Structure 1
Amino acid sequence: MSSNKWYGWTGTILEVDLTHRTVRKRDLSEAAAHLYLGQAGVNARILYDRTCAALSPYSPEAPLIFGVGPLAATLAPCSGRFSVTFKSPLTGIFGDSNCGGHWGPELKLAGYDHMVIVGKADRPVYLWIDNDRVEIRDARAIWGETTWQTEALIKADIQEPTAQVASIGPAGENLVRFAAIICNQARAAARCGPGAVMGSKNLKAIAVRGDRGVRIADKIAFKDAVDEAVAAILADPLYESAKAYGTLAITGLAQALGFLPTRNFQKSTFEGADKLSGETFLKRYGTKHKGCYNCPIACSRYYQVSEGPYAATRGEGPEYESVTALGAKCGNDDFDAILHANTLCNQLGLDTISSGNTIAWAMECYEKGILNPARLDGIQLCFGNDSAMIAMLDKIAFRKGIGDLLADGPLMAARRIGGGDFVVHSKGLDYPAVDIRGTKGMALSFAVSPRGGDHLKGLSLYEVAPDIYSSDILSQTGIRVTDRYWLRYETKAELMCWHENWHCVVDALGLCKLEGIALKPMLPGHFQRMLSAATGWDLSIKALEQIGERIWNLERLFNVREGLNRKDDLPPRRLLDEPIATGPAKGERLDREKFEAMLSRYYELRGWNPETGRPTKEKLRELGLAQGLSQ
């Protein structure tokens, strides 16, 4: 299919080789689009094909892949996402990050579905993409700058104030293994360390401007499908809460159900939770709301700290994950300090989740005598010390002193100094803000996720809000929820398979998970109708779900090739062996026998070998993955 006949997709992949300073464009194959849709799906296939088990994440040959989906930059609600896919420097396995804002749609409007970057520049550079014109420009003058200053300097250099800029800060330049790529000052592609991969290539930023538009196959049908999806979002029971508080609405839920991780997962409720609520944020700090591209909710907020030691701190956000990582996990209930830390992470280019987890782990090491004040330059790194937390962020980003150790993440640090028993991770990726002892389905999902301890690959509000969504759970999955459903092992393998498949679809289409499957409003029928009208490709809901399953299996195959197997699909020791110490879920733990049974059922549903967790040949043939994949 020639590029001028594509609907939804642009039909073009941009290839950049920084070593040889070459730029070329090639066609996106129709087969790839139909097998993997786009964005995270096609990205995963490119990564699989262009890497091998022996390849270092920092090798010049290792690709850094940006992708947008066929619904990105369209009228589809919440269509402002893009994905970055790479071999993770933090885990050594499959890595990808998802980001909102406006950068992704701009890449699509410039005429590209995907961008593959390889090589390493001989000096710092940035990319300037202006529709067809692509330039590799000198960035030596901005190397060392924060992401905020980088964006301002590049816009001045290209004289395009409305261009979208994705950049790394000092953390990416210094190869912090959980460095982020930041756009719009606060939107982050952060998990798994994409900023470090970008820094290893001497690539400071990517600026893009586009005005091409997106061709739609059936504009009337598409508009009708979009209106239907928006109506579903506006009618959702959680719409008002999401609009008012964004993901900070989760804080109260996590505290009430007893899965709010506190002091490095030693507890599951936080005595200062009320101080970190969405209500507190809006009353004390919120200035106005902001939405990503074409979002009917606008769940993000600008903030300003007006008094105290962190006065004049400003920024956007923060998300529930950031507040918990820099708050409850570190025993810190000072919201002023959390907002200051959130802004610092965005400026320095750090993943807030891994930053908070790493510091929380170091705080426990300090309190247990593994780290002493002398090694910490005299810093009293105890839980609740907000100034110590702030100091650690700077040390990590610049790899100064103890920061050089912590910049490799808690698992690698523990291998050098001890404290491995209380690193809460799977496959090397530290856990987000859910104590999975109180949510058994998420315990399974976090453990089997292809990128490691991760909530976004299979996030299930169906599990923790079954009273609200019981009818949807039944109609979509056939599951009848039981009392205190979040604590049950039964049916969770079925529930998570369904969620994981559809999360893959959402990530391939270019949509946001807050409205797509995670918080329910948009259901599979909405995705199918919008995609069919936009692209002219008529496919069933079942066929669309199978694409999600195909992507999930492809990501699994990547990790199988890296040597991972069933033993890597277990939760961390702390969450298996230690019961919850506080709150409404007190005494809850993950029962090893029941978890193993749940995992076996999951493998059975997935069509994976029960001993190794490897997709069977029959499953690969069913999904069209049997040919052309080295294993």
Structure 2
Amino acid sequence: MSWAGKILRVDLTAGTVKSEPLNMGWAKEYLGSRGLGSKYLVEEVDPKVDPLSPDNKIIWATGPLTGTMASTGGRYTVITKGPLTGAIACSNSGGYWGAELKMAGWDMVIFEGKSAKPVYLYINDDVAELRDAAHLWGTTVWHTEEQLKKDHQDPLLRISSIGGAGENQVLFAAVVNDLHRAAGRSGVGAVMGSKNLKAVAVRGTKGVGNIKDPKAFMQVTMEKKKILHDNAVTGQGLPTYGTQVLMNVINEMGALPTRNHRDVAFEGAKDISAEAMATPRPTDGKKPLVTNQACFGCTIACGRIQKIDQGHFTVENKPQYWGASGGLEYEAAWALGAANGVNDLEALQYANVLCNEHGMDPISFGATIGAVMELYEMGVLTKEQLGIDAKFGSAQALAYFAEITAKGEGFGKEIGQGSKRLCTKYGHPELSMSVKGQEFPAYDSRGIQGMGLTYATSNRGACHLRSYTVASEVLGIPVKTDPLTAEGKPELVIAFQDATAAYDSSGLCIFTTFAWGLPELADQLRPAIGEEFTLENVAKIGERIWNMERDFNNRAGFTAKDDTLPPRLLNEPAKTGPAKGLVNKLPEMLPKYYAARGWDENGQLKADTRARLGL
């Protein structure tokens, strides 16, 4: 079994660090990472707790395949009650940190309470201790990582930390590892900051040695890697263009949310696309894209490394930003670009770099700026309030807002509360493009109907990664469905939600599912952790996890009324493209979804659903 079998429990109030055995009964029912970490949270935390109070807990969790030779086995999740939404928050990250924790011999770290002063947790295999972080507090993610490696004289130390956004309780603050990989959404970094916890630094030298059948596991992982290699998306599209391959595709099908979802296509999409990143600039003849990059054990390598034009207005006097850094993914490029009508690729990369450096979710940040720009054009917000002219399309305003939000200065403090609170404060809650307080990703649900149901029912607020029906509705994976119809979408969304929950909990990356299905996951779990992980069992684990998260949210006070979309998507038809004249058909899909889930009309789990899933 490739669970380490141990967790660390850190009481920040008392300053103690203790080892305890992993609950193996729960591990077999919830796998690991997202599922198992959420099970611990659900059992130990009052659903009505204030997310930023010491009574909330925050958990770093790996999966049974994290740190193994399975492709993409570097994932970990950060689980807590989220301050942006008040719902269960579970944010997934790649890079190398997750594998390092596993190789140090730990499945999970649970933090509870609040430290009286800034601290970080240092783990070196079996040794784990809290240390003073006074010299790190107030510094960036980048400085924290560099300083801790210097302090411990260990360049191979892996760091998961927060920047100023987490310290200042920006409600969409991220937890960042390896400089530019992030547990990005729902404000997990703000919870970390509320506990005076700056970083978790890990060095693991043990490896992952307790695979149940090593020879069979090696053989099956090699077979599955070949499937990834031979697939058009995981073997060609993502390595070559990264997730940015989608910018022109989604724009052309009329589903690219533009200017706070007022439009469904962006005339400047080509300027901020993957193709633009790979084209030499007229200013200096160099390509913005330097290379691609892979996380631990990944055979896909979709990550981008990018360089800003040194003469661009954002960095002309800032040499610290002239080097290569984590580049634009599709979601960030959309949120910083099309959502605000900005087609300046260099400005997008600058804002993205600040999000990495200071620890902010670029999706929620960019989408909130879209709301600010709309309120400004309506005359609700003024130049005096904002500190800048903030019309749609202003690259200067985007860069300025990134700077003041990261530092918690001026109007940046209000931006840092997210679009729901900001729009409500200024009398226009309908202009927040969010569900349960979390901003939408880069797909307009009038043009991709399944994504509307996905957003409305997502347990962590609007999210594409909880059920990526784009794979089916746009890319035809595993089967092609019509993006403009509501027919069959409840069943499609449920299948994606359950499968994603299982993948997230295994420790593998969701991008493998462009080529793999649940059978490929079950095939790798069996030789790693046990023959009982059949296809049927793995599918049931995914369903169990989804329903457990839903039940936590219901007990936190969420009801069927929260499974909705902003009025704009339900009432204002798309103006152009294939979806012209369409709104999202959520009212048609939601009752069928509840029935198929085994929930009552109020979105509560029925007794027989609980019994069947052992909840």
Query: Is the pair's TM-score, using the shorter chain for normalization, greater than 0.5?
Result: yes
Matches of 1:25 and 1:184, distance apart in 2? 26
Residue in 1 that maps onto 2:22: 28
Aligned to 1:504: 501
- Given the alignment, which residue of 312, 336, 352 partners 2:346? 336
What residue identity is the alignment partner of 2:211? I
Structure 2 counterpart of 1:391: 400
Are the equivalent residues in 1 in contact too, given 2:371–2:423 (CA < 8 A)?
Answer: no
Question: Is residue 2:306 matched to residue 1:303?
Answer: yes
What is the 5 A alignment of 1:139-150? Answer: 139-150=133-144
Is the CA contact (8 Å cut-off) linking 2:368 and 2:418 kept in structure 1?
yes
Task: Structure 1: give runs of 5+ residues left out of the alignment.
Answer: 1-6, 474-480, 626-631
Partners of 1:81 and 1:202 in 2: CA distance: 25
- C-alpha distance after superposition, 1:480-536 (max 9, x if no partner): x56xx01111111111111111000001001111112xxx21121111111000113
Task: Say yes or no: does 1:446 pair with 2:455.
Answer: yes
Offset of 1:82 from its aligned partner? Answer: 0.5
Query: How far off is 1:427 after superposition?
Result: 0.9
Distance 2:23 2:84 in 1: 32
Aligned to 1:628: none
* 1:113-132 paired onto structure 2 within 5 Å: 113-132=107-126
Amino acid across the alignment from 1:353:
I
C-alpha deviation, 1:463, in angstroms: 2.6
Q: Distance in 1 between matches of 2:335 and 2:6?
A: 39
Whether the 8 Å contact between 1:370 and 1:419 is mirrored in structure 2 is no
What is the deviation of 1:158? 1.1
Task: Give runs of aligned pairs for residues 342-357 of structure 1, distance below 5 A.
Answer: 342-357=352-367
Residue 287 of structure 2 corresponds to residue 293 of structure 1: no
CA apart distance, 1:419: 2.1
SS in 1 for 2:232: coil
- The letter for the 1-side match of 2:570 is L
Match in the other structure for 2:9 = 15
Q: State the secondary structure of the residue aligned to 2:386.
A: coil
Using the size of structure 2 for normalisation, the TM-score is 0.96
Amino acid at match of 1:487: L
Pairing 1:62–2:56 present:
yes
Counterpart of 2:225 in structure 1 is 230
* Cα distance in 2, alignment partners of residues 313 and 586 from structure 1: 43
CA contact (8 A) 1:179 1:350 kept: yes
- Distance, in Å, in 1 between the alignment partners of 2:354 and 2:516 is 34
Of 393-402 and 70-79, deviating more is 393-402
The whole-number CA distance in structure 1 between the counterparts of 2:83 and 2:533 is: 37
Aligned counterparts of 1:30 and 1:70: Cα–Cα separation in 2: 12
In the alignment, structure 1 residue 603 sits paired with structure 2 residue 575: no
Question: Is it true that 1:138 corresponds to 2:132 in the alignment?
Answer: yes
- Cα distance 1:194–1:605, how it changes in 2: closer, same or farther (>3 A)? same
Distance 1:554 1:358 in 2: 30
Alignment of 1:412-431 (within 5 A): 412-431=421-440
- Larger CA deviation: 411-420 vs 268-277: 411-420
**Within 5 Å, which residues of 2 pair with 1:347-386?**
347-377=357-387, 379-386=388-395
Whole-Å separation in 2 of the counterparts to 1:276 and 1:568 = 34
Is 1:216 the counterpart of 2:201? The answer is: no
User: Which amino acid in structure 2 is aligned with residue 121 of structure 1?
Assistant: S
Tell me the residue number matched to 1:405.
414
Taking the aligned partners of 1:316 and 1:415, their CA distance within structure 2 comes to: 34
2:283 aligned partner: none
Question: What does residue 459 of structure 1 align with?
Answer: 468
CA distance in 1, matches of 2:373, 2:61: 37
| 1:476 match | none
User: Which amino acid in 1 is paired with 2:370?
Assistant: A
> What is the CA RMSD across the aligned residues, in angstroms?
1.3
Q: Which of 318, 322, 338 is the equivalent residue of 2:328?
A: 318
SS across alignment from 1:437: coil
Aligned partners of 1:313 and 1:343 also within 8 Å: no
* Offset of residue 464 of structure 1: 2.5
Counterpart mapping for 1:128-277 below 5 A: 128-214=122-208, 215-238=210-233, 239-277=235-273
* CA-CA distance at 1:291 after TM superposition: 0.2
Secondary structure, in 3 states, of the residue corresponding to 2:131?
Answer: strand
CA distance in 1, matches of 2:553, 2:239: 37
Is 1:617 the counterpart of 2:602? The answer is no
- Which amino acid letter does the alignment assign opposite residue 398 of structure 2? M
Q: Residue 4 of structure 1 corresponds to which residue in structure 2? A: none
Partners of 1:493 and 1:615 lie apart in 2 by 17
Report the Cα distance in structure 2 between the residues aligned to 1:207 and 1:154, rounded to whole angstroms.
8
66-75 vs 43-52, greater mean Cα deviation: 43-52
Shift of the 77–612 alpha-carbon distance from structure 1 to 2, 3 Å rule, reads: same
Is the aligned partner of 1:535 residue 2:526?
Answer: no
Q: Which amino acid aligns with 2:610?
A: L
- Alpha carbons of 1:465 and 1:236: their partners in 2 closer, same or farther (altered >3 Å)? farther
Q: What is the DSSP-based 3-state SS (H/G/I as helix, E as strand, rest coil) of the residue aligned with 1:31?
A: helix
What secondary structure sits across from 1:188 in the alignment?
strand
- Conserved in 1, the CA contact under 8 Å of 2:255 and 2:264? yes
Mapped contact 2:169–2:193 kept (Cα < 8 A): yes
Separation in 2 of the partners of 1:51 and 1:573? 34
1:143 Cα offset (Å): 0.9
CA distance in 2, matches of 1:332, 1:144: 31
Cα distance in 1 between the residues matched to 2:53 and 2:352: 31
- The percentage of aligned residue pairs carrying the same residue is 39
For the residues of structure 2 that align with 1:53 and 1:621, how far apart are their CA atoms?
Answer: 21
How many Å apart are 1:382 and its aligned residue? 1.1
Alpha-carbon distance in structure 2 between the residues aligned to 1:49 and 1:126: 26
Separation in 2 of the partners of 1:528 and 1:614?
A: 30
For 1:131 and 1:606, locate their aligned partners in 2 and report how far apart those are by CA, in whole Å. Answer: 42
Cα distance in 2 for residues equivalent to 1:365 and 1:448: 27
User: Offset of 1:313 from its aligned partner?
Assistant: 5.7
Letter in 2 for 1:608: W
Cα distance in 2 for partners of 1:141, 1:300 equals 31
For residues 423 and 201 of structure 2, what CA distance do their matches in structure 1 show?
38
Match 2:512 to one of 515, 518, 521: 515
Cα distance change of structure 1 residues 530 and 53 upon mapping to structure 2, 3 Å threshold? closer
User: Per-residue deviation at 1:586?
Assistant: 2.2
Maintained 8 Å contact 2:304/2:329: no
Q: Which stretch shifts more, 111-120 or 304-313?
A: 304-313
Shift of 1:140: 0.8
Shift of 1:355: 0.6
Q: Which stretch of structure 1 is more off in the superposition, 579-588 or 203-212?
A: 579-588
Gaps of 5+ in 2: 280-286, 317-321
Task: Give the residue type in structure 2 aligned to 1:521.
Answer: A
- Amino acid in structure 2 at the alignment position of 1:128: Y
Give the distance between the partners of 1:314 and 1:392, measured in 2 at CA: 23
TM-score normalised by length of structure 1: 0.93
Return the alpha-carbon distance in structure 2 between the equivalents of residues 72 and 233 of structure 1. 18
How many equivalent residue pairs?
Answer: 599
